[in-house]
Structure formats: structure tokens, C-alpha cells
Amino acid sequence: MSTDPRSSSEERPDSRARRGGIFAGLRPQARRRLEDVLRALLECEHRNQNASAAQVADYVGRPVKGVQETLGKAGDLGLVDRRKGFWRLTASGHPEAVRVMRAHRLIETRLSRESSVPPPQWHEVAHEAEHDLSEEEINRLADELDNPRFDPHGDPIPTREGRLPEPEGVPLLSWTGPAQAVIAHIEDEPPRLFARLAKLGITAGERIRMIGTTPAGARLIVEGREMLLPVELAGLVRVRPLQPGEEPFPGEARRLSDIAPGGVARVVRLLPGCAGRERSRLLDLGFVPGSRVEHVLQNPFGSPVAYRVRGTLIALRREQADQVLVVPEPPEGKKTEGPL
């Protein structure tokens, strides 16, 4: 499977239709629209929501009239039925919906790990590719990724048996514990709000400590950086307690980008959102736990910045240095003994 954002299902043969089955005889665009509404209904089912045509239309981003026609076609094929004004999957439609959802979330997982595609584009790229994979290709992709349970947003990935793990955590605004928590899930819909979260560097797997809530939103520390998350963005985030083996960030932790010129720090780890080629590059450059890093030279324009790590000068853009969690150290001559 290509992770090139330019690849499109429009350019590939409609292999499922050619093989026959439920979708035999359907044009590729009609099949994709059918699969889109099936996945939307599965999303509603998983969230215990009743699915009206308007809700499905909002989810797939199409006019209600067109979605009603697609739902009607799905009903004719025995994939969905309608009761008391709401639509739901039938026994025949459910496995088709699971297949598409599984493909989508596995593709997003590969994009996050192995490509340079920006997070706000993962959904669009996965949506284009999800309709082209056969069951065998989906299973092979899952095996290559070591059968992940959750995608990069924290959404559960259906198993090959069709089981959908329960979502983890509680809404961020409901978190009251003084202890640190882990971001378990980030809703990627609507895309404009998800893009704002991505710009702030908020990703699943990050540790947070809640300071408090205000009418404006949630004030919290995310991996060593304090911020105010507006209500509309905080509502997209779910958190859970740390599990055994998950270390909290040290109270004095900072991002490498926050270390002043001349400052010295010790690397704690790379953030969970640093994945794929970028993560490999930073590790290869020496930004591994325990490495000593010195801010050597500040660019007058702000970025890139020169750091000395393992005796070598390395230039990092600010967004790269944002991905390195560090603990400041005293200047030379004032260094204290003991662990970080």
C-alpha cells in the first residue's frame, strides 16, 4: 500500500466489484459512497448513538438528499434497515462496515509511523485508500504493523474477527485526579478542530497534568508545557490513568525548544507524536534518553537552532525540538550529583 498522498482510489481497478459479491455491478464511486455510510453507521453504533440520515450526512460530509439515496440503496442490498426513523446495520452490513473501518484505521497507523504525511491529512489519505484493500491485504497490513489495538488518534481498530475494543478513558474536562493522565483518544472530526489540536502538538499517548478548568477551557501541562486548551478542543480529548510501566514526566521537565541559549539539559524521551522517519532521524542524531544537550546558537529568525549533542552540532527546527522532552541541568561548575 502506498502512503503517497497523491495516490487515489480513482486510479485503481475496482477489485471488489470485479470479484462479485454484494457490490457486483456497482460503479466504483457508488461503492465508495455505500461503504462510507456503512462505516458511519458503525461509528454511531459504537458510540451508542441513533443514526438519522442527517447525522450520517454530517459524518460523511455529503448532502442529506444524496445520503438518503445511498442509504436506500444499502437497504435494497440488505446492508442496512430503518426503524423508528433511524438507520442501523444488518447482519450482512456489519462485517462490510468493520472491514472499511479496520482498513481506514490501519492505514492511518501506517501513515503515522512510516510517512511524512502531516496528521491533519491522515484521514483524507486513509479515506481514499480504504476502499481499495481486500480482506487479505488488510490482514497483511495488520500483521506488518504488529496488529495494533488503537490508531494514532486512540480509536480502537477492529480485530480480524470483527471485534471492536471499547474506547478508553474519560472526557478531559471530567478528569479530576491530581495525578498525571495519558491522552487516550483524540477525535479527528470535525477536521478543522483536529487540525487546531495537531498544530498545538496534542497527540494520543502524551502525558498531561490538569491544573484546572475555567469557562474558557482546560488549563493543563502537556509533556512539560503549560497551555490553555479551549473548550471546543478539550471536548475532543479523552484521557486515562497511567498504566504500570508508563512513566510520568518529571515535574521539572521541559521541551528542548524551551531551553534558553547556553542552557544544558538531559533527554528524557521523545514525545509519542514523534513517529516514523522523524523519530528515527532524531534517535540517529543522538537524542536518546540520557543524552546531554546544549543550546549552542540561537538563530536570529528563531529557527533552526544549533544544539550540541554527543559532541556534534545539530541544527533542529523548532517543531523538531518540540518533540524532545528534557530536564534542565545546572551550568557547568554548578552541576549536582544524583539522578535526573
Whole-Å CA distances, 260 to 187, 225, 256, 297, 340: 34, 15, 9, 10, 19
- What is the chain's pLDDT, residue by residue, as a tens digit (340 residues)? 444 433 433 444 444 443 456 777 788 899 999 999 999 999 899 888 899 999 999 888 899 999 999 999 999 999 999 999 999 999 999 999 999 999 999 999 999 988 888 888 998 999 999 999 999 999 999 999 999 999 999 889 999 998 887 778 899 999 987 789 999 999 887 788 989 999 999 999 999 999 988 888 999 999 999 999 999 999 999 999 999 989 899 999 999 999 999 999 999 999 998 988 889 999 999 999 999 999 999 888 778 999 999 999 999 999 999 999 999 998 665 554 444 4
Please tell me whether the overall predicted TM-score, pTM, comes out greater than 0.85 for this model. Answer: no
Choose among 336, 286, 281, 280: nearest CA to 307.
Answer: 286
Q: Which residues contact 4 (CB under 8 A, 6 or more apart)?
A: none
Structural domains for the chain: 1-164 (1.10.10.10), 170-241 (2.30.30.90), 254-329 (2.30.30.90)
CA dist., res. 157 & res. 142, Å (int): 10
DSSP 218: E
- pLDDT tens-digit map of 189-233: 778 898 999 999 999 999 999 998 888 899 999 999 999 999 999
